[in-house]
Structure formats: C-alpha cells, structure tokens
Structure 1
Amino acid sequence: MTDTAIAPGPIAAPVTNGSIKSPHRGSIQSVDRALSLLEALAEAGGEASLTDLSRRTRLNVSTCHHLLSTLVNWGYVGKVPGRRSYALGARVLYLGHACLRQVDLPQRAQPHMDRINQVTGESVHLAILQGDNIVTLVKREARHAVRVDSGMIGRSDAPHATATGKAMIAWLPEDQIRRMLPEGLRRFTDNTITDFGVLIEELRHVRRNGVALDREEFQPGVICVGSAIRDHAGAVVGAISASAPSMRATDEHLALMRQEVIAATNALSAELGEPGSLKPVLTTN
C-alpha cells in the first residue's frame, strides 16, 4: 500500500531528562536500572557507547557494564562488531511483535484507516496507549495536493495537545494523566491548553461526545479529530485520528471526519469485544 508508514513495533519511552525514571514503590533497583538502559538505547536511536549510556542513565560505567552484560546474555542487547558500542537486540523485536500480535491492531485498523483516507482525503493516524506513553504506529498521508505535517511515528510528548492523545487520556485516572505529563502542559501553539483544570474539563467533553478535537493546539493551521479504541474489558488500547489543514476544516468537512473516525473506532472496538460502542456525535464541544 502506498503512503503508509508503520513503526516496527511499540517504541520505548525515552529516559526522562537523561536520568532513570522515578521507580514505583516496591520496585527492584537492578530491574529499574536495566530497563532504563534499554530505554536509553531506544532514545539514542538503537545504538550507543558505554559512556553515552552511563551519561544518559546517570549510572556509573561499571554498573552499566555489568547490567549490559546480563542484557547481552539474554539477547535484549548486542555488542556492535567493529565498534565499541551496544545496540538493541533481537529479543526486543520479539517482545514488540508479540505485543502487536496480541491484538494485531495495525492490521485490523488498516481497512478502517483506508476508508477514512478515501472518504475524507485527509491524513490518518493510529496510536496506542503503552503504559504511560502514547505511541503513533501507523500514518496514512492525505490524498490532497495540499497536505499538513500531521506529526511523526513514535512516542508523543503532547498527549494534552493532540486528538489521539486527548481521545485516550480522557478515559484514564487523573493521577495517571499527571504521570504522563511530568513537566506540566507544554505549550506548542497559542491554542495549546496549559492549565490542568481546563484540560480536565476538556476531557469531560471528550468522554461525553466520544470524540476529541485538536484545534491548532499542536501545530498551527492543523485541525484533528480523534476517537478511542476499546477492548473487551472496556479499556482504551488506542485511537484513530484524521488531520486536515484549517483551510479545509469547514463545519461540513469536520462533521464528515468525525463520522468516519467514530465509525472506524466503533468497528474496531467491536472487533476487540468492547461491550458497547459509542454512537457518532456530531455536535461541537
């Protein structure tokens, strides 16, 4: 299929501010440190030297070396031949593919994304909720000559400013939303929501209408519509969004985008066993 980009699998979240993430109560220090090394490798593009990993994780070189040796033995990290560096191992791909196979969401979503793309002509994204991170897995480019730069595949640092982000976090506990935004609500445009109370109210509207809107909150001149995908337990597993330049975002076109996005996420949720799908709501929030 043309104009389709698919990430190789779930992408690990980067290490926050170049340091180990704050461990949860009851966590094991050595496991925290080993996982921080894997995430630092992912943040570095999949390969990094021992000294670079030590700097990124703020662990001493000796500790990094011992942990990396264990990860190498398990196949999660490999030594790069001819270079004094380490790379993510094949075992990471195995886990990532196993995770995707569990619901096979990109494959299931493909025909639904195709329809949105064909009917609206706009860019379409599929994102998943992975722990406290939102990761875009698939992107379909718009069919129009004038297209928007609707974001990259990979981890999002703007769950409060994007349609896929708001569509998913609207259904999460408030403490988890705060964990996902450890540095507060970063401003991307003049329209970005930067007050947590305002965001919570916005998410209430998302839950009521079953659709989230990004009104030039992440990128100037880009309007996005997103809706969540739920599984058999009613838990949010992902979201689909459509993005259009503001010049094309008439009320009629936005209504069409809403209708197609909600129809797609309802159908996917039904495929995953979600007990009750939301009906399309075409009112603005």
Structure 2
Amino acid sequence: MSDTAIGSIPAASGVSNGSAKLSNGSAKSPHRGSIQSVDRALSLLESLAEAGGEASLTDLSRRTHLNVSTCHHLLSTLVNWGYVAKVPGRRSYALGARVLYLGHACLRQVDLPRRAQAHIDRINQVTGESVHVAVLQADNIITLVKREARHAVRVDSGMLGRNDAPHATATGKAMIAWVPEDQIRRMLPDGLKRFTDKTIVDFDTLIEELRHVRRNGFAMDREEFQPGVICVGAAIRDHAGAVVGAISASTPTMRATEEHLDLMRREVIAATKAMSAELGEPGSLQPIAAVE
C-alpha cells in the first residue's frame, strides 16, 4: 500500500466582524490583540484552501462573511505578496506559490513524513493496521500521512488535513496531553463535540484522561471518534522535549483483542521513541511506564 502525504495545510475558515468562523459556521473568537485585517487575510487563504485551492470573489465573500469590496482589497494585497494568484481566463483566485514555500519550510523543520517512513512501514507490516502521522499546528491537529491497513477488512482511516477532534482521537490526545489547560480550551471553543456515545464530552474527565496519557506514554481512542474503531497513539518529541507530532495505529473492534492492542501499543511507542531519539529528545529511550 502506498502512503498519502500532505504538503500544504488547511486550517479554520472565515471571519465576520473580526471573528474567525469554523467550517460549521460557528464563531471562533480571535486571540486578544489580534489585528482584524490580518485575521481576514488569513481567513481568505484558508477559505481558498477549503474550496480546493481556487474560488471566485463572490464565493470567497460568502465563505468568509466579508463584503466583496473588502475581499477584493485583501486579495489584491495577497496577490502582490504571491500568496494568491489570479487565474488566467477565469474570474477566480487560486493559492499562490508562496503558500507552498511556507508549507515546505514548515515540513522541513522536522521533516516528519520522511523521518517516519520506516517506522510507518514497520507498524503497518507487524500489525497489519492503518497508521497515521499527525502534528499540532497552532491550535489544530493536522494529519500529514496515512497508510492503509493490509487486511481486507479495514477501518475508514479518515482524510488528510485538519482534524477537529483532538479530544476524541489517539493522535490528538497523545499531543494535547502536554498542552496547558487554557490552550486546550482555546482549541475547543465550542466544547467537546460528541462523535459517538463513547466520546468524552466533559472537560474535567478529559483532563483526567490526559493525565493518564502523560503517565502511561500513550493514548487510546476506544470508539470515541468512530464506532467500531480503536486506536493507539503516542507523541514524538524533539531535542527540547517539545511535542512535534504523533503516530497512531487503528484497528476495527473485530480484531481488537488485548493481545493485538498490546502489539499495536508496543509498536507505536517503539516508533515514537525511536523518532524522538533521532530528533535528540533527552532520555527518549527510557523504559515505558506501567499502564494505569
């Protein structure tokens, strides 16, 4: 099976009266001290990404909840900087080459997809299950790489790009376990969205769950994001000890015996510890803590 990787990273959508809008239309308050024109320009870039990389002026106005004149002026500035381009022969705009430059510069910082390749291959071969690599970008979980399972019966491993369920996925919990509580609340401005009847929707319960993640060195998603799917994830750290990403493996419940889950856990933790060691994390090869 071939990997799929992402090179440019979409995030949250639009802005109205200085407030960013999530893709479901709900308002997201800007950070204190934010500049409205910058919020709006970034909103246009993200809306272009969500539209598939190209959109008309009127479509962007609708998506961002900004008037056409404001959109036109902001787009003109973004065109001058190379982050947006006018599409020849069509009255529309597209993401510019400068966006690729930023995306590539970001990925080069740790080059996780390339570094993770051998580890993804091993987890996939040993467990036979789907494997994901994700990163924490600002307040968003971004899936960069996925490898499909080798089994005929496999889980729906989801799409590349932004994930709005950090509290309900193994990669999400593996990373936000090390994030301050106020930042977690900011990442989830509308509360803990329920995806299944097993999703954690109480913030105090989530914080306790994340305490176990920190203690045990791995996170579990037991049908919290998708019914019938169980995932194991662990964080990757750099030379400063900061979390730079996570790896997870997913299996359908029909194969989720304790023995198989233990195998997945061992392989995922071994991979993240090896990657952390490659990135220079101090003490990254310490023994795994006992599971609570």
* TM norm structure 2: 0.93
Pairs within 5 Å for 1:27-106: 27-106=34-113
Q: Could you list the per-position Cα deviations for residues 231-273 of structure 1 after superposition, in whole angstroms to 9, with x for gaps in the alignment?
A: 1111111100000111111111111111110011011111111
Structure-2 residue corresponding to 1:123: 130
- 2:69 & 2:239 partners in 1: Cα distance? 46
- In the alignment, structure 1 residue 145 sits paired with structure 2 residue 152: yes
- 1:26 & 1:65 partners in 2: Cα distance? 25
Structure-1 residue corresponding to 2:233: 226
The verdict on how the C-alpha distance between 1:121 and 1:280 changes in structure 2, with shifts beyond 3 A counting, is farther
**2:129 and 2:150 in contact (8 A); partners too:** yes
**SS of 1:134's equivalent?**
strand
**SS of 1:27's equivalent?**
coil
- 1:21 & 1:218 partners in 2: Cα distance? 22
**SS of 2:121's equivalent?**
helix
Structure-2 residue corresponding to 1:238: 245
- 1:154 & 1:260 partners in 2: Cα distance? 24
Structure-1 residue corresponding to 2:5: 6
Which residue identity lines up with residue 91 of structure 2 in the other structure?
A: R
Structure-2 residue corresponding to 1:274: 281
How many aligned residue pairs are there? 283
Higher mean alpha-carbon deviation, 209-218 vs 174-183, is at 174-183
**SS of 1:159's equivalent?**
coil
**2:140 and 2:163 in contact (8 A); partners too:** yes
- 2:251 & 2:26 partners in 1: Cα distance? 37
**1:126 and 1:239 in contact (8 A); partners too:** yes
**1:9 and 1:100 in contact (8 A); partners too:** no
Could you tell me which of 203, 212, 216 is aligned with 1:209? 216
CA RMSD after TM alignment: 1.5
Query: 1:80 offset after TM fit, Å?
Result: 1.4
**1:229 and 1:238 in contact (8 A); partners too:** yes
* TM norm structure 1: 0.95
- 1:131 & 1:249 partners in 2: Cα distance? 33
Instruction: Provide structure 1 residue ranges, at least 5 long, that are not aligned to the other structure.
Output: none
- 2:28 & 2:95 partners in 1: Cα distance? 19
Query: 1:281 offset after TM fit, Å?
Result: 4.3
Structure 1 stretches of 4+ moved >4 Å? 18-21
Q: Could you list the per-position Cα deviations for residues 198-225 of structure 1 after superposition, in whole angstroms to 9, with x for gaps in the alignment?
A: 1111000000001000001111111100
**SS of 1:65's equivalent?**
helix
